[in-house]
Structure 1
Amino acid sequence: GAAWRTLLPTWPSELLDVLPNLYTTELSPEANVWWRAAAIRLAIGKLIAIDYGHSLKDWPAANQPNGTVRGYRSQQIVDDVLLDPGKQDITSHANFGLAQRAGEVAGLQTEQFTSQESFLNSTFVEMLQSAPELAQLINVRQLQTLTHPGHMGRPFRVLVQAR
């Protein structure tokens, strides 16, 4: 109740301005605090996040009427996320727009925000160009699962920020 109301003013106005009444969503303010702290401490290098999620622009449309919280057991979706605690995974989508903003406020440059499919395909192309012998080590079926748009390739997003 009241604790959530104190968080609302810290949410970006462009998100608050487009949310319909009775809209349900999940945000993790502490994740963005962590991202900003990591960005501040990063002298040189990259921060990379890979997860289900969306940009600020896509956030409202991407959410389901009851939010994005989902339960999974044996790779099957579970309707009641509170049923059988400890016997299923509970997840929700990341708001990459808030993480991106936290990194940029801390001085990072956003290099990419893309699908896992695009990120991994370009990464593997670069890797194989510099070390062709690595092609023998790649498990093609696993790579297809990670990059196929109908599996993990499109729903997973990748945010890359650098200093």
Structure 2
Amino acid sequence: MHAQEDTRHAHRISTALSARIGEEIAASADALLPFDRFMELALYAPGLGYYVAGAPKFGPGGDFITAPEYSPLFGQCLAVQCAEALARLGGGDVLEFGAGSGALASQVITRLAALDRLPERYLILEPSPDLQAAQRERLAALPAPLAARCHWLERLPEGFNGVVLGNEVLDAMPVHRFVIGAAGEVLEVFVTGEDGQFREVQAAARSPGLAEAVEQLQAAGLARAPGYGSEVNLRLGPWFAALAGALERALVLLVDYGYPRPTYYHPERDMGTLMCHHRHRAHDDPYRHPGLQDITAHVDFSAVAEAGTRAGFTLAGFTTQAHFLIGCGIDALLAAAPDPLDLTQQAKQLLLPDAMGERFKVIGLTRGLDGPWRGFGERDLGDRL
């Protein structure tokens, strides 16, 4: 009966969200909604979007599993890099964006305590009320001196000094989608429809900055062939500008799946990278379960580096997840484990090329803080951006 109630509740949420999207389509120019706005509503519409409506998201009972759920080794290694930065700063805070289940926060602050390098505060900026509740419950179970350092914010802090963490945050930013027309013109992907039956329409690009962004790709020899389609994240610039305004001295570490620009917009990747996740199954239909599935796009790390440097950050390094974790001493953690068998299997998931090791990348950016940094010491691929 409980499962039936959950199914009915999910159906009500999806129906209400579809109606909300339909209202915005009806109110838009030519009844065409830019895809990035559709994605924003599907993921973040208050009380209805995927990340704010209360359904399980992480772990076996959710839709996907992130690295901290696979293994505590991930957060423990990330803490080593945090400790190096906090030592260089002479103290400071840690700020995590979108802390998910709270697993990463728990791993990082516990390891920092063991390294005798606790931050003054572990701050979390989490827009989802249900995820924030799960995080509070999880972190309240930590030893009292650690739990007392965990605080939740409603907005970016002022005058921040410390380390900023974002694990699988950038891929959940709404993106614009484009297609190259038969005559080489830039077409934008819009969403239309009603009664929950949504479909895509291609029309002349009109979202501010989209045509210019695609033309810059074309000037670099990319995204030129008629029929070629992909995504552009136009929100990176404003996001980094806001972040820069909040930070004084900091190391920013962002972990996600993606590529440098030449690989992202490779001629053979002509349908983009948009992907949906529902009950641990991946598919490419963002209109199938509005509000009940994750919608993501891979990250153009060249665009991340450019947006960061325009906002006043310095590129600190770029590497694969495997090389970052090795640089942060994952081998030493395995060697010190009393029963390393389970951890070894977990490490394989984090490190192997056909698992998460090469698909996920780590980019570091700094403001008022110099390197070098352990995580990028094994192999820095920054020259590929």
Residues 136/11 of structure 1: CA separation in 2 closer, same or farther (3 Å cut): farther
| Coordinate RMSD, CA, aligned | 2.8
Alignment-derived partner of residue 344 in structure 2: 140
Conserved 8 A contact 1:68-1:93: yes
For residue 232 of structure 2, what is the amino acid of its counterpart? L
Alignment-derived partner of residue 212 in structure 2: 9
Conserved 8 A contact 1:119-1:158: yes
Q: Secondary structure at the match of 1:25?
A: strand
Conserved 8 A contact 2:274-2:298: yes
Correspondent of 2:280 among 75, 95, 105: 75
Residues 12/107 of structure 1: CA separation in 2 closer, same or farther (3 Å cut): farther
Alignment-derived partner of residue 243 in structure 2: 38
Matched, 1:109 2:109: no
Conserved 8 A contact 2:213-2:232: no
Matched, 1:50 2:255: yes
Conserved 8 A contact 2:321-2:350: yes
Structure 2 CA distance, aligned partners of 1:103 and 1:137? 41
For residue 364 of structure 2, what is the amino acid of its counterpart? V
Runs of 4+ residues over 6 Å off in structure 1? none
CA positional deviation for 1:24: 1.0
For residue 356 of structure 2, what is the amino acid of its counterpart? M
Correspondent of 1:120 among 294, 305, 325: 325
For residue 362 of structure 2, what is the amino acid of its counterpart? V
Residues 74/140 of structure 1: CA separation in 2 closer, same or farther (3 Å cut): farther
CA positional deviation for 1:105: 2.0
Q: Secondary structure at the match of 1:45?
A: strand
Q: Secondary structure at the match of 2:232?
A: coil
Structure 2 unaligned blocks of 5 or more: 1-203, 368-385
CA positional deviation for 1:93: 0.6
Structure 2 CA distance, aligned partners of 1:80 and 1:57? 25
Cα displacement string for residues 112-157 of structure 1 (whole angstroms, at most 9, x for unaligned residues): 111111111211359x49xx86x45983333321222111111111
For residue 149 of structure 1, what is the amino acid of its counterpart? P
Conserved 8 A contact 1:146-1:153: yes
Alignment-derived partner of residue 9 in structure 2: none
Matched, 1:98 2:300: no
Normalising by structure 1, report the TM-score: 0.79
Structure 2 CA distance, aligned partners of 1:23 and 1:56? 15
Q: Secondary structure at the match of 2:229?
A: coil
Structure 2 CA distance, aligned partners of 1:152 and 1:123? 16
Normalising by structure 2, report the TM-score: 0.37
